[in-house]
A and B are shown apart, each in its own frame.
Chain A
Amino acid sequence: MPEIFLPIVSRSDPPKPAQRVVIDPITRIEGHLRIEVQVQNGRVTDAWSAATMFRGIEVILKGRDPRNAWLFAQRLCGVCTTVHAICSVRAVENALNISIPDNARIVRNLLEGAQYVQDHVIHFYHLHALDWVDIVSALAADPAKTSDLQRSISSWPNNSPQYFQTVKDRLQKFVNSGQLGLFANGYWGHPAYKLPPEANLMAAAHYLEALDWQREYIKFHAILGGKNPHPQTYLVGGMAIPVDPGSAKAINANTIAQLKSMSTKAIDFVNQVYIPDLLAVASYYKDWASLGAGPGNYMSYGDWPAKQGSAYAWGDQWLPRGVIYSKNISAAPQALDQNKISEYVTRSWYTYTGGDAAAKHPWQGETQPSYTGPQPPFEFLNTDTKYSWLKTPRYNDTPMEVGPLARMLAAYAAGHTQVRQQVSRVLGALGIGPEALFSTLGRVAARGIETLVVAQQMPTWIAELEANLNSGNLAIHNGAKWDPATWPADAMGWGATEAPRGALGHWIHIKNGKIENYQAVVATAWNGSPRDGKGQRGVWEDALIGTPVADPEKPVEVLRTIHSFDPCMACAVHIVDGRGREVTRVRVD
Chain B
Amino acid sequence: MEPEHDPVEQPPRQDFSRRRFLQLCGMMAATLALPREYAGLIAHALTTAIRPPVVWLEFQDCTGDSESFLREPTLVNLLLDTLSVDYHETLMVPSGRMADKSRADTVKNYKGKYICIVEGAIPAGNGGVYATIGGRTALSIAQEVCSNALATIAVGACASDGGLPGATPNPTGAVGVRDAVPGLGTLISLPGCPVNAYNLTATIVHYLTFNQWPATDSQGRPLFAYGDEIHEHCERHDHYEEERFVLAWGDEGHKQGWCLFRMGCKGPRTNSNCPSAKWNSGTNWPIGAGHGCIGCTTPHFWDRMTPFYRALPDD
Contacts and interface: CB of A to CB of B under 8 A. Distances in A.
Interface of A: 22-32, 34, 52-57, 59-60, 64-65, 67-68, 71-72, 75-79, 81, 122, 126-127, 130, 135, 157-158, 160, 162-163, 166-167, 170, 174, 177, 179-187, 208-209, 211-212, 214-215, 218-219, 221-233, 235, 237-238, 240-244, 247-250, 369, 371, 373, 375-379, 389, 474-477, 479, 482, 553-555, 559, 570, 575, 583, 585-589
B309 A22 contact: no
Q: Which of B65, B71, B101, B256 has the most CB of A within 10 A?
A: B71
A209 B14 CA distance: 7
Contact of A559 (B58, B88, B95, B288): B95
Given A242-B255, A477-B250, A479-B249, A157 B133 contact: no
Interface in B254-279: 254-257, 279
A555 B179 CA distance: 37
A182 B61 contact: no
Contacts of B302: 60, 72
Contacts of B123: 54
B63 A570 contact: yes
B175 A588 contact: yes
Contacts of A378: 132, 135
27 contacts: A27-B99, A53-B130, A54-B130, A55-B121, A60-B168, A60-B171, A126-B91, A127-B90, A157-B13, A170-B80, A179-B50, A179-B53, A181-B79, A181-B84, A185-B93, A185-B102, A211-B75, A223-B283, A226-B279, A233-B291, A247-B255, A250-B257, A371-B129, A482-B249, A570-B61, A585-B170, A588-B125
Contact of A160 (B12, B80, B279): B12
Contacts of A376: 127-129, 132, 135-137, 140
Given A29-B90, A215-B75, A228 B279 contact: yes
A479 B123 CA distance: 40
Contacts of B13: 157-158
Contacts of A218: 71, 280
Contacts of B286: 226-227, 232-233
Q: Which of A32, A215, A482, A575 has the most CB of B within 10 A?
A: A32
Contact of A377 (B125, B136, B254, B289): B136
Interface in B21-52: 49-51
A81 B67 contact: yes
B283 A222 contact: yes
A244 B290 CA distance: 12
A130 B90 CA distance: 12
Contact of A25 (B95, B130, B168): B95
Given A24-B134, A225-B289, A227-B279, A78 B51 contact: no
A26 B92 CA distance: 10
Which 8 A-B residue pairings sit nearest by Cβ, starting from the closest? Answer: A78-B64, A249-B257, A586-B125, A56-B171, A227-B279, A226-B289, A186-B93, A226-B286
A228 B280 contact: yes
A28 B89 CA distance: 6
A160 B175 CA distance: 52
Contacts of B135: 22, 24, 376-379
Tier of interface size on chain B: 35 or more
A32 B67 contact: no
Nearest to B124: A588
Nearest to B157: A75
Contacts of A185: 93-94, 98-99, 101-102
Contacts of B227: none
Interface string B7-24: 000111111000000000
A179 B102 CA distance: 11
B280 A71 contact: no
A369 B126 CA distance: 11
Main secondary structure of the interface of A (DSSP, over half): loop
Contacts of A56: 165, 170-172
B164 A181 contact: no
Contacts of B160: none
B62 A76 contact: yes
Nearest to B289: A226
Contacts of B72: 215
A589 B124 contact: yes
A92 to B, nearest CB: 13
A54 B93 contact: no
Interface in B89-128: 89-99, 101-102, 105, 121, 123-128
Q: Which of A242, A373, A476 has the most CB of B within 10 A?
A: A242
B215 interface: no
Contact of B90 (A28, A167, A209, A223): A28
A215 B84 contact: no
Contacts of B51: 177, 179, 181
B284 interface: yes
Given A22-B96, A570-B62, A55 B279 contact: no
B311 interface: no
A26 B96 CA distance: 6
Given A65-B309, A71-B294, A212-B76, A23 B95 contact: yes
B169 interface: yes
Contact of A233 (B60, B173, B289, B308): B289
A204 to B, nearest CB: 11
Contacts of A587: 125, 173
A52 B120 CA distance: 14
Nearest to A568: B63
A28 B91 contact: yes
Contacts of B309: 65, 67-68
B161 interface: no
Q: Which of A76, A223, A238, A586 has the most CB of B within 10 A?
A: A586
Contact of B281 (A54, A215, A248): A215
Given A187-B93, A570-B62, A75 B137 contact: no
Contacts of A476: 249-250
B308 A71 contact: yes
Given A68-B308, A181-B86, A589-B124, A27 B92 contact: yes
A201 B290 CA distance: 44
B190 interface: no
Contacts of A583: 169, 171
A589 B49 CA distance: 44
Contacts of B125: 586-588
Nearest to A349: B129
B285 interface: yes
A222 B274 CA distance: 13
B12 A588 contact: no
B184 interface: no
B249 A57 contact: no
A576 B125 CA distance: 18
Contacts of B279: 222, 226-228
A346 to B, nearest CB: 20
